[in-house]
Structure formats: C-alpha cells, structure tokens
Structure 1
Amino acid sequence: MNIIIIEDEVKAARSLETIITEVRPEAKVIAKLQSIESSVKYLTENKQPDLIFMDIQLSDGLCFEIFKTVKISCPIIFCTAFDEYSLEAFKANSVDYVLKPFSKNDIIDAFRKVDELRSFFQQSAITGLNDLLAQLTPPTGKKSFLVFKNNKYITIATDSIAFFYIRNELSTIKCFDLQEYTVNQSLDQISSLLSPSQFFRLNRQYIVNFSAVKEVEHYFMRKLYVKLVIPTPDKLLINKEKAPTFLSWLENR
C-alpha cells in the first residue's frame, strides 16, 4: 500500500509515518507534502497513492483547495480538529478522520475502516466530496463575530481583530483598538472559520492577523519571536518546526 502524508508540521508528519510503519509494515510512505501547491504538483505529475493522510490546514491554506484542481480517486483520512457536525459530515461521506493529537489506536482504527469500506470509497465516496467540502468551507473566511458584552450583542468585524487568544481559559478577541471580547468557540473552531491567508495559528494559545504582525526576530533554540503592533499578554514564540511555515505564510501573499 502506497501512502502520501499531506501535513505542514514536520514533527507531526514524522510521528504519523512512524505509527503507519508500526501498524502496517507492508505500507510505504512515498511522499510527505506540506502545502497545497506541492500537493497539487505531486498529484498532477505522479500516479495516485492507495491512501492519503491529509491535514485540514496547510501552510498556504485549507486542504480543500487541492480538490478544485486535482481529482482524487483514493480514500482520504483527514487529520482535523473540526467540530462534531463537520466530523459527522465527513463520516457520512465515508471519508474517515483522526483528531489531533492522534494516538496509535486512532491510526489502527482508521486503517480498519479503510479496509472495510475500500470498495465503497472507490465507487461513491469521492463523487460527492467536492460538494461536501464546498458546503463546509467558506471561500474567504468568516467576516464577523457576534459577541455579548455589557448586556448587549455586538458584531465585531474580523478585519478589526488583531488576534485571538486564551485568557482565563476562555477564547478571547483582542481588537486593534485594544477592546476585548470573549467568544464561545474554541481556538480550533475559530481557526477553521478564518481565512488562512489572513490569520495564522502561532501556537495553542494565539491566532494572529497578518495586519497585526510588526516584526519577527530569531530567538533561542531556533524559535521565532513575533512582535505585534499592539501589546500581547505573553511573549509570542513559534517553535523551530513551525517557523518555516510561518515565514512562508508571511511571504506568500
């Protein structure tokens, strides 16, 4: 079985490859890709694999863009943190998923489903995939967020948001005018709603707007130190594995 991993975080891709090798010794990971651009190029120029493990959010956007250019005829296992509605939609279309951070048992279960439904994957699962993805993925990202503050509902334009972060265990909006608002969604959910060209998930605590980035400095242990145009409660650091993806996001606009 030939497998492709499409994952923008090098460490996560290596971990996934290790688990695949352990649970399916006969399988071979023939390519590890990090972006929409490289995935489209590879899938256009090479024979399609038997299976693809695909991250939802890649270095240059959401993976759904791949399907607009390339017709994929093999089963796909999505690696995602989408909410339950989206996950159930993928399942109904017979495309499996694993939640991050995934375990060895998650991958074993995913392979089992692929084995059981292989014929169904080949005959009908891909047929309606593009329609499903179009329904789940807004093309340009969410334009505003509805918040409740001082006993009032207020609409906050996404363009006015400098960053999202976790404050007192709550997802919080910080605007360029320094106003703050709490929202009910998790950062994972918020990230899936935003335009990937406008916002970047720095780490588990912060999602930043491109317009809010002032400068970036090299830091200890090959990390990056990101400074915004407005103050942040914490020092914004990006680990060395994610640093190349962030720099690529800054450059490729």
Structure 2
Amino acid sequence: MKTITLHLSPRTLLRAFAALLLAGAASAAWSATAPAPFTARYQVLRNGESLGEATIRFQASGNGEYEYSNQTRGTSGLAALLGASSEETTRLRWRDGVPETLTYDYAMDAAIKQKHRHLAVDWAHQQVTVDEGKGPIRYDSVPGMVDRNTLALALGLALRGGAKQVVVPVGVKQRVEQQQYAVKGTESVTVPAGTFTAERVTRTDADKPSDAWYAPSKFPLPVKLAQAEGGHLTLLLVSFESP
C-alpha cells in the first residue's frame, strides 16, 4: 500500500450549507505538474433536496502562479430566500512539484449573516497570517501547506499518483491541522455527469463522517462528496470542462 504525505486544504460551501470540500496540502513524497485550466460545476443537495449550485475554476494567473476559485449560490429553499452565496479564491504556486498556498480569501453573504476570512502565507519567513476582521492570528507554516479550499484538487492529484493513505497538513484559523484520509474501496457512482467507477476516500481522524468519490484517471476533482455536518450535504458533479 502506497502512503504519502499531502498538504492540501477542506472547504466550506456556505455556512448555511456547511463545508463543500475538505482542505490540505502536498509534500515531496509525490510530485505533480499543475493541471490544465478547467471549470467544474456541481449540484448541491441537503437531505436529498436541491439547495444550490457550485462552480469551481482553476487557471494560470501568470508569474508561475495559479488561481483556484469556488463560487456557491443558493437556488432553492431557504438558501435562495436568504440570497445565500459564498466565494472562495486561492492563489497558489507549484513548488518542487507540489502546490502551496500564497493567499486564500473566503466570503459568505446572506440576508442575516456575513463572514469573511483572509489567509496569507509569508514563505520567506515561514509564517501564516489569518484575519477575520478581529485582528490577525499568526502561526508557523508547513512546507507545501495549502488552505482548506484546495483539498479536492490536491487530493485528486495524489490519488492519480497511486496514493491510498494521505496525511494532510491544513492551514486553518489558528494552526496547522494534520488531517488523515484513506481510500476505503471502489464503487460505481452515478451523478448528473455520468456513471463512474470511483475510489471512495474517507477522512479517518474526525468524528463527523465525510466521503469523496474520485475517478482520478478522468478528473482531478471528485465526482461526488457527502458530509453529515450541516444537514447531510451532498455534491454531485454536473459537468467538467477543460480546453
């Protein structure tokens, strides 16, 4: 069984939705080049009922840097009524064959609540700064660390490289978390984008269950995600476009 250390990042679709993805980073235990630009669209369900839609984009931004963005909006039920939406944008680089976060911005807006977070990594001084408008929080960075927004991409690249167990140092609000993931089996999964033979990946160090199904030979992102937190959220791949 091949084991690697991956520095990625999870992430939240919307406070009302709960987390869209997990997050983490990558180490020198594996190496990958940046994928081609892509746009992926997901249907968001809560307790089996349509709640909204999510769009994830990856593209080069020049000077050896890349942008990974996740935009989610409520289209049904209370989420639509409240005008709920969220946006996450990560600026990252590829260093020694693995992604590293440079900055991460999160904004959630609804009629009754707003939330914002800015994370920046000073790699020259090995320091992370997080600010949610109440003063900065600082802690030491970890080589290869990325924010929670980009787990889906980095984990997908690790699976494509043959990984079956993954340790994920994730830069969160106050520290770096060592999150753990493992491939638990292969299953047939049907989503709006089609039917796929997928690897089911589970986070093994958390009390609240979360699973992601990947077809790593086809896409760097999961075809399905399921999470109990936030009201049994499910994300289903609708389309994946890459030039």
Q: TM-score range by the shorter chain?
A: under 0.3
Q: TM-score, normalised by structure 1?
A: 0.25
Q: Of Structure 1 and Structure 2, which has the larger fraction of its residues in helix?
A: 1
Q: TM-score, structure 2 length as denominator?
A: 0.26
Could you say which structure has the greater relative contact order, defined with CA pairs below 8 angstroms and 6 or more residues apart? 2
